[in-house]
């Protein structure tokens, strides 16, 4: 099937999912635990930026004894390569960025966690212990899943 505007020789596009939030470091820790991902370590990059005078003490904080950006934090798949200078994952990653306004409406984009019916109840309990909240159990259109929210109210489904 041909896609209008696509080139036959086009390469896949690199991407990251960006989530606006209030506390990027806390949300990164939640999602790292939820997905089995790793919180990216940007401390060397932060040190370099401090050395250039590009960051002030207001731009970073200590999280688990390492420097982290106050306004940005990210998680990455543990098997993916990492840029050694920046500590950033080069493939599957989610970036959390601080914004001043609170979440107001339902997400238009969300994550589905696929754990299987035999693990669903245990996974929901585990996610609740990390700070997630159950919104609804959904049995519709041939699907059974649990809709939850992360600690900042972003919806996701577990199935």
Helix (H, G, I), strand (E, B), or coil: what is residue 107?
A: coil
Q: What pLDDT digit, counting tens, does each position of 89-115 carry?
A: 998 999 999 999 888 888 888 899 999
pTM above 0.75, yes or no: yes
The CA distance from 24 to 42, in Å, is 13
Confidence band, pLDDT 50/70/90 cuts, at residue 24: very high
**Pairing relation of β-strands 38-39 and 72-76?**
antiparallel
Domains of the chain: 15-102 (no CATH), 104-159 (3.10.180.10)
Nearest alpha-carbon partner for 67 in 81, 53, 86, 84? 86
CA 2 to chain centre: 32
**CA 33 from chain center: how many Å?**
10
> Listing from the earlier edge strand, what are the strands of the sheet with 72-76?
17-21, 93-98, 72-76, 38-39
pLDDT tens for 53-84 read 999 999 999 999 999 999 999 999 999 999 98
Mean pLDDT of 22-48: 96
Q: Output DSSP code: residue 105.
A: S
**Per-residue pLDDT at 141:** 82
């Amino acid at each position: 099937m041909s896609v209008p505007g696509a080139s036959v020789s086009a390469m896949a596009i690199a991407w990251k999912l960006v989530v606006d939030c209030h506390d990027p470091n806390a949300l990164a820790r939640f999602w790292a635990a939820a997905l089995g991902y790793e919180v990216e370590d940007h401390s060397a990059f932060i040190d370099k930026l401090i050395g250039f005078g590009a960051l002030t003490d207001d731009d970073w904080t200590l999280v688990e004894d390492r420097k982290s950006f106050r306004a940005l934090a990210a998680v990455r798949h543990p098997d993916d390569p990492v840029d050694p200078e920046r500590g950033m994952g080069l493939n599957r990653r989610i970036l959390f960025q601080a914004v001043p306004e609170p979440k107001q409406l339902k997400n238009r984009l969300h994550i589905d966690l696929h754990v299987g019916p035999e693990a669903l109840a245990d996974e929901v309990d585990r996610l609740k212990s990390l700070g997630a909240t159950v919104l609804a159990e959904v049995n519709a259109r041939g699907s059974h899943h649990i809709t939850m929210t992360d600690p900042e109210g972003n919806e996701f489904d577990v199935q």
